[in-house]
């Protein structure tokens, strides 16, 4: 295999520096991968042994994809917060820095929080939650900026066995309300305000708006900016007041491996976002193991993942993965372009970051600003780079490798999903040569399979729909309150297999290349967006009769949002209305769902049976209308010319 690789032009060998002292060479990878599939019980028990178990599991694998019933380490008991904190403090690492907090403004002092201090903070929050009435199994909604208290809130829930549901701070009041309602959450933890590029985000204000639609028992408010907020008597409590005098001890709750740890809402091709449920034991083992091997973490190193804790990347690779591995993780409140486009590099330089993990969209945006911003800073501390969220185009990959990684940092292009809990396909830094644009090889225990639309298995170098044939410890177990939806969404297309929703190519070296979603989900700046969600937001507007939303290639965002809108009879379209509709979607869902284009049309292209022909709409949005394919089944083929004429992406 190695031979084929060397013959290829577009392949970047493992840098010599990445081989030195690596936790996993190619030989080790091959051996460990083989063992992980031949003897999953033995392999995963060994990985699990790095964690502290209150009761060691006797059962390791315990799952079926038909019928769908997924369990791992079934009879084990543990607490993930104790594994992230207490374990390290007990091992004498209390003085090791757990979190470095870099605030929005470079003029605000940073904070370094040791494992011992973080444990004390988490205990205080945990006891405060108990005082508020939170019990094991209760759902707690967290709506926080990127400040250490966000991580503290998550870990405090985990400590007492409450199930957290983190809602990204960029989501709208409606989105918060929907999520609170769906998981019947009686408690909210938020901050007064967040800061992003010196702008204030009214977090508590948004919670207040949301709570006009749904009600909760209590809201715990962390003071961050000191901005003015309204407090509702009896319902809202300031954290710094309410936590006064709580106990300084709080024993971690003994959780069954299969007790839920968190719910995280994610978009799909139909309906409202699904509350994906992750449980405790398998997720703990998966995030610790993937963090350790993918980033080849070495004690003393500073690791920085630029994601937000509101996404799964933040859950697994800011909080649970790095902390369980005893790493020093940087948490950044701000944005890449404030105060200037060099902020990421300034922060890498300031904190001597060794491992840097970000999204292709950020790389593309910063690349566009020119190399001078990078050159200004000493990035020699960087040893390893990572990307996540969407396919990376080889041009951006090369720029990242050359300018940020000074031509000797391996890049791990990690493919995974909210539902997978952690990395699934990625090269390992000391083991695998890299191919720019390819995620690479399956992680231990991951069995990818490509199938055609009828489910026939495709062998060898080929392209198809990406399925995973066996369970892995970090796999989501269900959709909150709707197990049938879980089964239908992931296991019904290809019975007995987990279907990822992604298209994928496998090359002659068995490297995997993710080609993007094959369902009605689009990927905007690494964030998953259901086109159906945007459509339902649009039709809620009183002047809109119907809409169809598709993605189109976007230089920076990966994909942009293109909306076709039909107005109610008699309503005249104009630019003002397009602007109003754009704002409407922003307030209904959040700024990440802002449409790039809104094209008005007297009707949508439908088959005679009434099905919208999205293929045609996608082509027109891509500005590729030369080959629309067969349009003869359309009820009104004449619509198409008008759509082409009025196209907005030229
Ligand atoms: C979808 C999952 C995984 C955390 C962030 C997004 C796309 C993710 C890659 C990658 C190509 C990728 C896929 C996937 N995706 N990482 N390295 N290369 N595509 O999590 O919101 O659950 O989205 O993101 O399409 O299905 P998510």
In this prediction, residue 631 carries a pLDDT of 82
Assess whether the C-beta atom of 427 lies below 6 angstroms from ligand 1: no
pLDDT at 4 over 60: no
Question: What is the predicted pLDDT for the residue at 9?
Answer: 55
Residue 575 has pLDDT above 90, yes or no: yes
Mean pLDDT score of the chain, rounded to an integer?
96
Query: What per-residue confidence (pLDDT) applies to 550?
Result: 97
pLDDT confidence band for 628 (50 / 70 / 90): confident
Contact 294, 423 (CB under 8 A): yes
Q: Binding site for ATP: what residues are annotated? A: 389-391, 413-418, 502, 517, 528
- The arithmetic mean of pLDDT across residues 246-263, rounded, is 98
> Which atom number of ligand 1 is nearest to the Cα of residue 500?
26
pLDDT of residue 302: 98
Tell me how far apart the alpha carbons of residues 617 and 644 are, in angstroms, rounded to a whole number. 9
Average pLDDT score over residue span 162-174:
97
So what's the ipTM on this one? 0.99
* Residue-wise pLDDT tens digits, 582-599: 999 999 999 999 999 999
**Sequence-distant (≥ 6) Cβ neighbours of residue 33 within 8 angstroms:** 441, 442, 444
Average pLDDT for 42-59: 98
Residues of the chain above pLDDT 90, percent: 94
Structure confidence at residue 5 as a pLDDT band (50, 70, 90): very low
Q: Whose CA is nearest to atom 10 of ligand 1?
A: 415
Is the pLDDT confidence value at 574 over 90?
yes
SS3 255: strand
pLDDT confidence of residue 10: 85
Query: Which atom of ligand 1 is found nearest the CA of 426?
Result: 17
| 437 Cβ below 6 A of ligand 1 | no
pLDDT of 448 higher than 80:
yes
DSSP 3-state assignment of 331? Answer: strand
The CA–CA distances, whole Å, from 131 to 49, 218, 231, 250, 596 equal 34, 11, 18, 12, 46
Give the distance (Å) from ligand 1 centre to CA of residue 431: 23
pLDDT at 591: 93
Using CA atoms, how far residue 310 sits from 178, 264, 347, in Å, is 16, 8, 21
Please tell me the predicted confidence (pLDDT) of residue 269: 86
Question: Is 70 exceeded by the pLDDT of residue 1?
Answer: no
Q: Is the CB of 289 under 6 A from ligand 1?
A: no
Task: List residues forming the annotated binding site for Mg(2+).
Answer: 539, 541, 544
Closest residue to atom 24 of ligand 1, CA basis: 389
Q: Ligand 1 in contact with 61 (CB < 6 A)?
A: no
**Is any atom of ligand 1 closer than 6 Å to the C-beta of 224?**
no
- Protein residue whose Cα sits closest to atom 21 of ligand 1: 528
Q: Is 151 left (phi over 0), alpha (psi -120 to 50) or beta?
A: alpha
Q: End-to-end distance of the chain based on CA atoms, in angstroms?
A: 44
CB 316 less than 6 A from any atom of ligand 1: no
**CB-ligand 1 contact for 294 (6 Å cutoff):** no
Q: What is the pLDDT of residues 422-436, one digit of tens each?
A: 999 999 999 999 999
Residue 606: how many other CB atoms lie within 10 Å: 17
Give the mean model confidence (pLDDT) for residues 206-228. Answer: 98
Q: In Å, how far are 167, 255, 303, 326 from 99, measured between CA atoms? A: 21, 25, 10, 10
DSSP class of residue 449 equals E
Q: Which residues are annotated as a binding site?
A: 196-199, 313, 337, 389-391, 413-418, 502, 517, 525, 528, 539, 541, 544, 586
Is the pLDDT score of 92 beyond 80?
yes
| Three-state DSSP state, 390 | coil
Helix (H) or strand (E) holding 186: none
- With 80 as the cut, is the pLDDT of residue 8 above it? no
| Residue of 506, 412, 413 whose CA lies nearest to 15 | 412
Q: What is residue 463's predicted lDDT score, i.e. its pLDDT?
A: 97
Under the banding of pLDDT at 50, 70 and 90, the label for residue 270 is confident
Q: What is the mean pLDDT of residues 57-86?
A: 98
Going from the Cα of 122 to the center of ligand 1, the distance in angstroms, rounded, reads 30
**Ligand 1 pocket check for 275: Cβ under 6 Å:** no
Predicted confidence (pLDDT) at residue 64 exceeds the cutoff of 90? yes
Residue with CA nearest ligand 1 atom 12: 390
Query: Mind listing the pLDDT tens digit for each residue in 279-331?
Result: 999 999 999 999 999 999 999 999 999 999 999 999 999 999 999 999 999 99
């Amino acid at each position: 295999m190695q031979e084929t690789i060397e013959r290829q032009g577009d392949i970047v060998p493992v840098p010599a520096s990445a081989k030195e002292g690596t936790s996993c060479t190619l030989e080790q990878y091959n051996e460990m991968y083989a063992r992980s599939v031949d003897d999953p019980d033995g392999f995963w028990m060994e990985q699990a042994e790095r964690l502290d178990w209150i009761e060691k599991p006797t059962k390791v694998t315990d799952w079926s994809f038909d019928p769908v019933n997924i369990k791992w380490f079934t009879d084990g008991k543990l607490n993930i917060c104790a594994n992230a904190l207490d374990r390290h403090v007990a091992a004498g690492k209390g003085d090791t820095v757990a979190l470095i907090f870099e605030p929005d403004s470079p003029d605000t002092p940073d904070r370094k929080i040791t494992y011992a201090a973080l444990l004390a903070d988490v205990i205080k929050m945990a006891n405060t939650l108990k005082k508020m009435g939170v019990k094991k199994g209760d759902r707690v909604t967290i709506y926080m900026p990127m400040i250490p208290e966000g991580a503290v809130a998550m870990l405090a829930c985990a400590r007492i066995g409450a199930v957290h549901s983190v809602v990204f701070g960029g989501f709208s009041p409606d989105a918060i309300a929907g999520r609170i309602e769906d998981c019947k959450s009686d408690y909210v933890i938020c901050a007064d305000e967040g800061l992003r590029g010196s702008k204030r985000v009214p977090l508590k204000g948004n919670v207040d708006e949301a709570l006009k639609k749904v009600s909760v028992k209590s809201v715990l408010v962390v003071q961050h900016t000191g901005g003015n907020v309204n407090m509702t008597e009896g319902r809202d409590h300031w954290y710094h007041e309410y936590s006064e005098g709580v106990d300084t001890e709080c024993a971690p709750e003994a959780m069954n491996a299969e007790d839920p740890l968190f719910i995280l809402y994610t978009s799909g091709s139909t309906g409202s976002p699904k509350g994906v449920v992750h449980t405790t034991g398998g997720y703990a083992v998966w995030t610790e193991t993937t963090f350790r091997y993918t980033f080849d973490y070495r004690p003393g190193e500073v690791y920085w993942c630029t994601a937000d804790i509101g996404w799964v990347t933040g859950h697994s690779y800011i909080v649970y993965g790095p902390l369980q591995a005893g790493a020093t993780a940087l948490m950044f409140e701000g944005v890449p372009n404030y105060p200037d486009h060099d902020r990421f590099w300034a922060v890498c330089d300031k904190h001597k970051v060794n491992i840097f993990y970000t999204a292709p969209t950020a790389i593309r945006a910063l690349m566009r600003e020119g190399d001078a911003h990078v050159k200004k800073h000493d990035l020699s501390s960087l040893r390893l780079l990572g990307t996540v969220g969407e396919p990376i185009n080889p041009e951006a990959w090369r720029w990242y490798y050359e300018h940020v990684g000074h031509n000797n940092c391996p890049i791990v292009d990690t493919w995974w999903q909210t539902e997978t809990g952690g990395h699934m396909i990625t090269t390992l830094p000391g083991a695998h040569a890299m191919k720019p644009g390819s995620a690479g090889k399956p992680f231990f225990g991951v069995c990818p399979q490509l199938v055609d639309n009828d489910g026939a298995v495709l062998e060898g170098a080929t392209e198809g729909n990406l399925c995973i044939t066996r369970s892995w410890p970090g796999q989501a177990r269900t959709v909150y309150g709707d197990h049938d939806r879980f089964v239908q969404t992931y296991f019904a297309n290809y019975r007995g297999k987990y279907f990822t929703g992604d298209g994928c190519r496998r090359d002659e070296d068995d490297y995997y290349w993710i080609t993007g979603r094959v369902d009605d989900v689009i990927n905007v700046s690494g964030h998953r967006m259901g086109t159906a969600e945007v459509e339902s937001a649009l039709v809620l507007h009183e002047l809109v009769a119907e809409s169809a939303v598709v993605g189109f290639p976007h230089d920076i965002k990966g994909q942009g949002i293109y909306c076709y809108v039909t107005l109610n009879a008699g309503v005249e379209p104009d630019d003002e209305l397009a602007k109003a509709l754009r704002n409407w979607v922003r307030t209904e869902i959040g700024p990440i769902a802002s449409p790039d284009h809104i094209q008005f049309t007297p009707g949508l292209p439908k088959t005679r049976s009434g099905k919208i022909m999205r293929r045609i709409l996608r082509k027109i949005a891509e500005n590729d209308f030369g080959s629309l394919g067969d349009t003869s089944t359309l009820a009104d083929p004449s619509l198409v010319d008008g759509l082409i004429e009025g196209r907005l992406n030229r």
